[in-house]
Structure 1
Amino acid sequence: MPLYEHVMIARQDLSNAQAESLVEHFGTVLADNGGNLVDSEYWGVKTMAYKINKNRKGHYAFLRTDAPATAVQEMERLMRLHDDVMRVLTIKVGAHVEGPSIQMQKRDERDTRRERR
């Protein structure tokens, strides 16, 4: 099955538990349609560059899935209909990267940048 990565932004006035339960809910939607939620990360509340639906901040969540295209389409459809979800980004990838995402890594653990001249 194809591999996908999803980033979801939920409204800022939700609690952390409610935002994490959204991830679990959409994981069950995938499972019901023949997919699998490989990994999920809750990135927390972050400030956005611009307002979305009169919100300046949002709960960010990252999902790694292994699912057929129909299951992903159904999950995206339900995310767009859900009142608490503001934005969704889905990307098809060749392979999932092991370990935590770049957002979850500490600044010291990241690769060093090249020096400026």
Structure 2
Amino acid sequence: MRAYETIFILHPSLDEEAVKANVEKFKGVIENNGGEVESVDVWGRRKLAYEIAKVNEGVYTLINFKADAELPKELDRVFRITDGVIRHIIINPESK
């Protein structure tokens, strides 16, 4: 299993419960596909560096996890089809 981290930005119009539901959804995708979540850090609402789709701020969340090489592809697919996600990135910090 490899170590990965993902940062995603949720739309600021989502209430606190919707943010928690999305975080749990993404944790579930990781855990249901054989990965293990090491840590979840919700950074909260922050100003974006530049405007994305007429939005100036978003709710940032960082998840560190371990998984096989195929899981990031599935997680990326789920990020892309989830309405509240403005941006996301999945990286392997060990591959420098």
Structure 2 length-normalised TM: 0.91
> Max radius of gyration: which structure?
1
Q: Are 2:62 and 1:68 equivalent residues in the alignment?
A: no
CA root-mean-square deviation: 1.0
Shift of 1:17: 2.3
Poorly superposed stretches of 4+, deviation over 3 Å: none
**Bigger Cα displacement from structure 2, 49-58 vs 39-48:** 49-58
State the secondary structure of the residue aligned to 1:93: coil
Relative contact order: is structure 1 or structure 2 higher (C-alpha 8 Å, sep ≥ 6)?
A: 2
Shift of 1:87: 0.5
Q: Which ranges in structure 2 are unaligned for 5 or more consecutive residues?
A: none
Structure 1 length-normalised TM: 0.76
User: How many residues get paired?
Assistant: 94
Higher strand share: 2
How high is the sequence identity, in percent, across the aligned residues?
Answer: 31
Q: Which ranges in structure 1 are unaligned for 5 or more consecutive residues?
A: 95-117
Match of 1:48 in 2: 48
